[in-house]
Structure 1
Amino acid sequence: MASVTRRTGERGSERRTAMEENLQQAMQRLLQNGSSFTQVSVEQLAAEAGISRATFYLHFRDKGELVARLMDRVTAEIIEASVLQSPETVTREELKKTIKAVVNVYLRHYAVMAAIVETSAYDEQVAALFRAMMEQLVDVNRRALQRLKQAGRQQADLPTQVADVITWAFERSCHQLIHGRKPAQVTAVIEALTHVIWTAVYAPGREGRATTGSPGSRKQSL
């Protein structure tokens, strides 16, 4: 009986996940059609998702919770794409591949990101969610820079707010420079971001070297 109960619970969880995915996709489609978060109603969301209004409220307390969940999803995808597995030994080409992966996340979710930026100007709830999202991304970059510092890969005397500046500059570049552009133009933006981040952050003459010994020793080996 326990196994039957477990299987039933698993099926219920799968249905909830599928429904949440359906609603998130419905929100993205509505945003892609030019609506803002504030303009989209629960009735519109339910109709777009092919469900009833009552079913929507079985899964989300209100539209704000759906927006928060959608932003969490986008944030998780950006973080997954942006984390360098070994920032201590990363090469310029590896950095470029990582930047390209993050840009692709922004392209995939451009409608959501654009709506977040627009709505955050006058909706405090969305503004708070956007700030929290950016703070998460800044924290990821701060930790990566700390690892670079320990490995001796970071530029000497790097200002403390470089992670903040890079994170926000990246977001602004993706918001302003990649949507609706030709592939060659997007590639040019990726090249520019790679150049800026590599030259601003990474210590010269140490590409592709790994740290040996303790982090504080800063010994390098091929």
Structure 2
Amino acid sequence: MASVTRTTGTRGKARRSSVEENLQRAMERLVGKGASFTQLSVEQLAAEAGIARGTFYLHFRDKGELVAKLMQRVTEEITEAARLDAPETATRDDLRATVKAVVGLYRRHYAVMAAIVETAAYDPQVERLFQAMMRALVEVNRKALKRRRDAGVVGDDVPALTPDVVTWAFERACHQLIRGRKAAQVEALVDALTHILWTAVYADAGRSGG
């Protein structure tokens, strides 16, 4: 009996994961066509994902719970990509590679990220998760600044809120400047974000190289 229960549980998790992936791809297609996640109905999402409306509600209470679940995946990916192994010795090229990776993930998951921002305005659970994601990303930049300061690469004159400000600016820039952009425009965004992060957090006063 125990063996059957484990198998059923595994199959149930696999089924849920499959439903999540189908719904995520459905969101990406619909949002990619210009739809607003807030305006999308469960019926539209289910139909685009090729599942029954009842199947959606078998796995999720509402659209907010779907977004919260998808957000956990995206948060882990983006936070991991944002970390530099050794920020105290990182060069500007190292930082650009990291920025490009994060922007690439944001671009790939734009539908989910846009849904997060929209849903956070009225769903307390999604708002909490969104704020937690941003705190995690802020902490990445705070630690990078501290490690560069401790290593003597950066002075003590960088304002304490700088990591917070640049992290939120990064998120807003991705939200506003990625959708519908061509590859060259995305590369230009990567260059701009790298310049801002390097100048504000990574480079000492008067230094721009690395």
Query: Residues 57 and 86 of structure 1: is their aligned pair in 2 closer, same or farther, counting only changes over 3 Å?
Result: same
Structure 1-normalised TM-score? 0.79
Q: 1:119-150 CA distances to partner (integer Å, 9 max, x unpaired)?
A: 55x53545554434323322232233233333
Aligned residue in 1 for 2:152: 152
Read off the aligned partner of 2:175 and give its amino acid letter: H
SS at match of 1:38: helix
Q: Is the 8 A contact 1:155 1:202 kept in 2?
A: no
SS at match of 1:88: helix
Aligned residue in 2 for 1:167: 167
- Unaligned ranges ≥5, structure 1: 209-222
Structure 2-normalised TM-score? 0.83
Once residues 166 and 75 of structure 2 are traced to their aligned partners in structure 1, the CA distance between those partners, rounded to angstroms, is 16
Structure 1 residue 5, shift from structure 2 partner = 4.7
Structure 1 residue 13, shift from structure 2 partner = 2.2
Aligned residue in 1 for 2:92: 92
Read off the aligned partner of 1:80 and give its amino acid letter: E
Aligned residue in 2 for 1:123: 122
Structure 1 residue 98, shift from structure 2 partner = 0.3
Moved more, 81-90 or 35-44: 35-44
Q: 1:74-105 CA distances to partner (integer Å, 9 max, x unpaired)?
A: 22221121111111221111111000111111
Once residues 31 and 72 of structure 2 are traced to their aligned partners in structure 1, the CA distance between those partners, rounded to angstroms, is 17
Query: Residues 51 and 152 of structure 1: is their aligned pair in 2 closer, same or farther, counting only changes over 3 Å?
Result: same
Which of the two has higher C-alpha Rg? 1
Read off the aligned partner of 2:73 and give its amino acid letter: R
Query: Residues 178 and 27 of structure 1: is their aligned pair in 2 closer, same or farther, counting only changes over 3 Å?
Result: closer
Alignment of 1:71-82 (within 5 A): 71-82=71-82
Q: Is the 8 A contact 2:38 2:115 kept in 1?
A: no
SS at match of 2:200: helix
Q: 1:155-184 CA distances to partner (integer Å, 9 max, x unpaired)?
A: 332111011111011112222333333322
Once residues 179 and 129 of structure 2 are traced to their aligned partners in structure 1, the CA distance between those partners, rounded to angstroms, is 22
Read off the aligned partner of 2:111 and give its amino acid letter: A
Q: Is the 8 A contact 2:83 2:140 kept in 1?
A: yes
Q: 1:15-57 CA distances to partner (integer Å, 9 max, x unpaired)?
A: 2212222222222322222222321222222212212222112
Query: Residues 176 and 136 of structure 1: is their aligned pair in 2 closer, same or farther, counting only changes over 3 Å?
Result: same
Q: Is the 8 A contact 1:156 1:203 kept in 2?
A: no
Aligned residue in 2 for 1:216: none
Structure 1 residue 9, shift from structure 2 partner = 3.2
Q: 1:172-209 CA distances to partner (integer Å, 9 max, x unpaired)?
A: 2222333333322222221222222212222447x87x
